[in-house]
Structure 1
Amino acid sequence: MSAEAAAQLIPNGCTVGMSGFTGAGYPKAVPKALASRIEKLNEVGERFKINIWTGASTAPELDGELAKVDGINMRLPFQSDPICRAKINDGTMDYIDIHLSEVSQYAWSGFLGKMNIALVEVSGILEDGRLIPSSAIGNNKTWLEQADHIILEVNSGQSSGLEGMHDVYYGTALPPNRKPIMITNPTDRIGEKYLQCDLSKVIAVVETNAPDRNSPFSAPDEVSHRIAGHILDFFKREIEIGRLPPELLPIQSGVGNIPNAVLEGLDAGPFRNLTGFTEVIQDGMLKMLKSGTMTAVSSTAFSLSPAAMQELNDNIDFYRERIILRQQDISNHPELIRRLGVIAMNGLIEADIYGNVNSTHIMGSRMMNGIGGSGDFARNGYLSIFVTPSTAKNGTISAIVPMVSHVDHTEHDVKVVVTEYGLADLRGLSPRQRALKIINNCAHPDFRPRLLDYFERACASGRGMHTPHLLGEALSWHQRYEETGKM
């Protein structure tokens, strides 16, 4: 049926599990048709809102369109849309920020309530009813199983060559019935190439032909190159010491220009036969596969520029032999991250002098995007590396502060902090040792003397020498920015 007819089947107040992960594999037509329907209802004074669960962020055609007409009541577990973000921060949209590995468990355990409809993009439907997954799996397996009803968008705009790239595992269970997940190498396949679907629950099939949202990455700037250089030098030292093998360990990289620059640095570096165990494949990893620097990648979705997407589609047979797409409760699973010894590299908003990291909130209160999968990998990875420029907003904000205004990753999970000024290896250091390492190695020179002054006065205060703080000043940098526009 048409997208407009399918949108009529979604009732007010229901919960819809939608496909999509970082702008890949999200439904393209029905959300826009639903937004148009809501807009017409708003014009006659009728309020219409739904709850939306996804894999991660989606695209303007989904989050943006529905947020614009005030059609979202509750959103989880991750978003990156500016309209959505504004609604969350002005209190007109509720938002639950969840570790991505836990979303499926939350749904299966009933923590989030009932899912009424699954709205899932697929690449095709086989005669026996199995579904060919699209460019992201995310939580689609769980949504198809949990929902009372299913709406499928069959997108012929996705490459037919995606068929066979996926590995959907149906062996998960809730406690106390869980069994080990038998992956010991990123290349291991343990599941099926297709999604199972109860055809009796399908209430609509909508045909589409539309590309994913593909945002270009900025060319790496000097700051990104310097950050990448520090990480490459660190890896070389770890290999010399014997703490990393020559081919490193499976790489996880968050999305963004700086992580992408690090991947490009790895591609140009001395390392070979690398592997990836990550949640998103972006341009840098595709280039590493093409050059042979990386031999295989396990992920749950793509996040590619238009040029990289064209490269993927043009050489899909080559990449299908080297890429495995899994559901996100496997791609982000703590058991697998710990077993494989993943090297996790993610961005941050701010870090404090003791190594606590805020990756979600601006000035403590305003949500940016969400924790995503960074917590899954930071807590369980062999190495957890957080990268950031040392300042933001033209130097008015320091990324290194006395105390973070919100904590997503505690000092216990943060092993390495990197800025363009240097790298702080925090392993085996006490809090006071970490503070000096972070200040001296990572802080911008304009802020370094004030951070040292704060730390020295906190040590001299007599309040306690394990983690010295001046409580009356700990968040004064943030307050100063709120009042004056600079820290």
Structure 2
Amino acid sequence: MSDRIRHAGLREKRMSAEQAAALIHPGMTVAMSGFTGAGYPKAVPQALAARIDEAHARGEAFRINVMTGASTAPELDGALARAHGIELRLPYQSDPNLRERINAGELNYIDMHLSHVAQYTWFGYFGAVDVAVVEVTAIDEAGHLVPSSSVGNNKTWLEQADKVILEVNHWQPDALDGMHDVYYGTALPPNRKPIPLVHPDDRIGEPYLRCDPDKVIAVVETSAPDRNSPFTPPDAASKQIATHLLDFLAHEVRRGRLTPQLLPLQSGVGNITNAVLAGLGEAGYRDLTAFTEVIQDGMLDLLKRGVLRMASATSFSLSPEGIDEFLANVDFYRDRIVLRTQEMSNHPELVRRLGCIAMNGMIEVDLYGNVNSTHVAGTKIMNGIGGSGDFARNAYLSVFMSPSTAKNGAISSIVPMASHVDHTEHDVMVIVTEQGLADLRGLAPRQRAQRIIDQCAHPDFRPMLQDYFDRACRESFGKHTPHLLGEALSWHQRFVETGSMRM
């Protein structure tokens, strides 16, 4: 299998995943590749989990700190969580086993903006990185690393880690070579310089990752696929949300605030954004661009149909069918997709410079536009803020979307007061549910509240929201942002106690 390892010195460092995992010790901080189920190491984490299980069976303590780009997959987060092998996890996760242990208080989890991770590591906020475990597609004769299906924080991991373990995955196609753009022009304050990117398709870096061969302590060969979630066709609510948003974008074009090519698109992962992407093609848009975090199935379809001219991201988030489509036509997509480090894909300065249209999901929004995208009832983490904050605060248009209810109508996504705030009212411009769209731009708090109630709330909860708001306007301590402090979170308390927000 060593045809992918063309550097003579690194070829001599080949070993099994079990041997490589033996080089990771309790208490270490281990930075691993991976972003939304793509490009994560497949073999070493599982071997490490088995080693941790054996240590625990002997009565020995064995836990590590784990840093990645974003979420990974069962072979990494799931395996280490089941082995009770994680002491600290950051910056994002979506694995059910890991989520369960986080919410049980069994490990510490730092949920943070994805654009901050690399620079905080450089600033030394997380301490030393002992080992980096990074998946790559190949290693050339000079020791350059061809990235795989995600770039994420790999540049920083390779530079900051004391030691490096490389997984060379033969499943990743050779044709990925040339798709990546790794920028090495960042610096620490006060020596920073402007990033020379002014269009989504600008290439400002190198196609390879650099790594000092002397830091590499192991090279493990694998041949295993990325594991992403199956694509679920958008339901009726998702399609209706997409319709409302597409009508709004068409209105903005007619008003002259957007051109027919819109602006670079950013979209979170999920059925709603895939429905929006599909709708863009049906609405006749062409020659669009994307400056986002992940390439989803919907974007592949738009690229193939010419709706999207190009897409810039840091990773893929494809269904099994999407992976098959990409692998079958990788040469076509390589000319239309640029994969960057996440400190570039999520860079707030670049988001504002390019004027992105940010479209993200939410758990709930309150009457004044404060969005909770991470916690159920303010206490139980779902996944994390991810990159939504990087885009929302800096976007030309900041859109948050959700069905108006959840749990078969037991929960309202429009609440009197958000139980946890990830995006303040100052960063939220547009709210969309299947009921309608609320354009909050230029509105004061009480105007925002009435518009959200009228346009976005479900009819089953609209009278309750109106009643709360009317009484708050009369009885609140202050009238600028009216609240009844004694009952502002009563809807959440009722849900915790009864399983429903209904009266």
Say yes or no: does 1:305 pair with 2:319.
yes
1:330 to 344, 354, 364: 344
1:85 to 94, 99, 109: 99
**Within-5 A mapping of 1:75-154:** 75-154=89-168
State the alpha-carbon separation in 1 of the partners of residues 173 and 476 from structure 2.
65
2:9 corresponding residue in structure 1? none
State the alpha-carbon separation in 2 of the partners of residues 454 and 21 from structure 1.
41
Question: Aligned pair count?
Answer: 487
Q: Does structure 1 retain, via aligned residues, the 8 Å contact 2:399–2:432?
A: yes
1:297 aligned counterpart, secondary structure: strand
Displacement, 1:180? 0.6
1:153 aligned counterpart, secondary structure: strand
2:195 to 169, 181, 187: 181
Q: Does structure 1 retain, via aligned residues, the 8 Å contact 2:476–2:483?
A: no
1:310 aligned counterpart, secondary structure: helix
> Which stretch has the larger CA shift, 261-270 or 73-82?
261-270
Say yes or no: does 1:48 pair with 2:76.
no
Say yes or no: does 1:158 pair with 2:172.
yes
Displacement, 1:265? 1.1
Say yes or no: does 1:204 pair with 2:223.
no
Displacement, 1:446? 0.1
1:339 corresponding residue in structure 2? 353
Q: Aligned AA for 2:67?
A: W
1:24 corresponding residue in structure 2? 38
State the alpha-carbon separation in 1 of the partners of residues 314 and 465 from structure 2.
40
1:425 to 439, 453, 456: 439
Q: Give the direction of change, closer, same or farther, for the CA distance of 1:334–1:422 in structure 2 (3 Å limit).
A: same
Encode CA deviations 1:125-178: one digit per residue, 9 max, x unaligned.
Answer: 011011000000000000000000000000000011100000000000111111
1:243 corresponding residue in structure 2? 257
Displacement, 1:41? 1.1
Q: Aligned AA for 2:24?
A: I
Q: Does structure 1 retain, via aligned residues, the 8 Å contact 2:476–2:484?
A: no
Say yes or no: does 1:8 pair with 2:8.
no
State the alpha-carbon separation in 1 of the partners of residues 352 and 127 from structure 2.
30
2:332 to 307, 318, 321: 318
Q: Aligned AA for 1:111?
A: Y
1:394 aligned counterpart, secondary structure: coil
**Within-5 A mapping of 1:63-78:** 63-78=77-92
1:36 corresponding residue in structure 2? 50
State the alpha-carbon separation in 2 of the partners of residues 308 and 220 from structure 1.
15
1:379 corresponding residue in structure 2? 393
State the alpha-carbon separation in 2 of the partners of residues 442 and 213 from structure 1.
35
Q: Aligned AA for 2:95?
A: D
Runs (5+) with no aligned partner, structure 2: 1-14
Say yes or no: does 1:367 pair with 2:384.
no
**Within-5 A mapping of 1:414-453:** 414-453=428-467
1:403 to 413, 417, 429: 417
TM-score (norm 1): 0.99
State the alpha-carbon separation in 2 of the partners of residues 218 and 327 from structure 1.
28
Q: Aligned AA for 1:277?
A: F
TM-score (norm 2): 0.96
Q: Does structure 1 retain, via aligned residues, the 8 Å contact 2:445–2:481?
A: yes
State the alpha-carbon separation in 1 of the partners of residues 356 and 49 from structure 2.
41
2:487 to 473, 479, 485: 473
Q: Aligned AA for 2:234?
A: P
Q: Does structure 1 retain, via aligned residues, the 8 Å contact 2:314–2:340?
A: yes
State the alpha-carbon separation in 2 of the partners of residues 190 and 89 from structure 1.
41
Q: Does structure 1 retain, via aligned residues, the 8 Å contact 2:167–2:219?
A: yes
Aligned sequence identity (%): 68
Displacement, 1:272? 1.1
Say yes or no: does 1:353 pair with 2:353.
no
1:229 corresponding residue in structure 2? 243
Q: Aligned AA for 2:364?
A: E
2:393 aligned counterpart, secondary structure: helix
1:170 to 170, 177, 184: 184
State the alpha-carbon separation in 2 of the partners of residues 267 and 299 from structure 1.
20
Q: Aligned AA for 1:357?
A: V
Displacement, 1:462? 4.9
> Which stretch has the larger CA shift, 285-294 or 461-470?
461-470
Encode CA deviations 1:293-320: one digit per residue, 9 max, x unaligned.
Answer: 0000000000001111111111111100
Displacement, 1:353? 0.7
1:59 corresponding residue in structure 2? 73
1:243 aligned counterpart, secondary structure: coil
Q: Aligned AA for 1:77?
A: P
Q: Does structure 1 retain, via aligned residues, the 8 Å contact 2:150–2:315?
A: yes
> Which stretch has the larger CA shift, 14-23 or 208-217?
208-217
State the alpha-carbon separation in 1 of the partners of residues 476 and 161 from structure 2.
58
Displacement, 1:270? 2.1
Q: Aligned AA for 1:213?
A: R
State the alpha-carbon separation in 2 of the partners of residues 451 and 484 from structure 1.
19
State the alpha-carbon separation in 2 of the partners of residues 363 and 173 from structure 1.
40
Q: Aligned AA for 2:49?
A: A
State the alpha-carbon separation in 2 of the partners of residues 404 and 351 from structure 1.
6
1:275 aligned counterpart, secondary structure: strand
CA RMSD across the alignment = 0.6
State the alpha-carbon separation in 2 of the partners of residues 432 and 109 from structure 1.
41
Encode CA deviations 1:52-106: one digit per residue, 9 max, x unaligned.
Answer: 0000000000000000010000000000001101111111110001100000010
